[in-house]
Amino acid sequence: MGRVDLRWWVTASFVSFGLTSFLFAGINTDVTFAHLSWARFAQGLGLACFFPPLLAILIAGLPQSRIAAATGLANALRTLAGSFATSITTTMWDRREALHQANLTENVTSFDPAARGALDQLSALGISGDGAFAVVERSVVQQAYMLATNELFWVWGWALLAMIALVWLARPPFGGGGRVIAE
């Protein structure tokens, strides 16, 4: 970290997070373990480049007596922001799922040829009546959640890439060598 401007490290992490989000946005209900593993590995690389340089940028230029307080405040704000992001994401995910479920359900009627074909296949397997409709409904709910998940990953991917601009607004008292200057 001492040889490269710390903002480049944080930029690399946001690029990794953003691209990983786009990778997750392309999954479906048949996703493989290998696909998820490699995406999480790429996300982990970004995570390794994130916290140390970000913390160094945050405490750069502070006197030694204030570093402990600044570090504690930064961690508290990071935890608080994570809580808000989790709550907002969960709410958005739930609402988008409900919207997609309503849109998908509009097309599932006993008069729709595709739905009729699925119900006939289920009937051939010994599942008929309400049981067949329950199986179709479960499939619709799965697809609705998958669509909502994909949309959220697209949103977060673009948001993470947009945050790169915020990193470059930080004035570098840490200098060209990336060293922290403390009084």
The domains of the chain are located at 6-167
pTM over 0.85: no
**17-63 per-position pLDDT tens digit:** 999 999 999 999 999 999 999 989 989 989 888 888 888 888 888 88
Q: What is the dihedral of CA 134, 135, 138, 143, to 10 degrees?
A: -140
The answer to whether 157 and 21 have CB atoms below 8 angstroms apart is: yes
d(CA 160, CA 94): 21
- Give the span between the Cα atoms of 23 and 15, in whole angstroms: 12
| Residue 150 near residue 26 (C-beta atoms within 8 A) | yes
Q: What is the pLDDT of residue 143?
A: 94
Give yes or no for residue 175 having a pLDDT over 50. Answer: no
pLDDT digits (tens, 9 = 90+) for 154-173: 999 999 999 999 988 877 65
Token pair of 11, please?
A: 């930029």
Angle at 155 between CA 30 and CA 47, to 5 degrees: 80
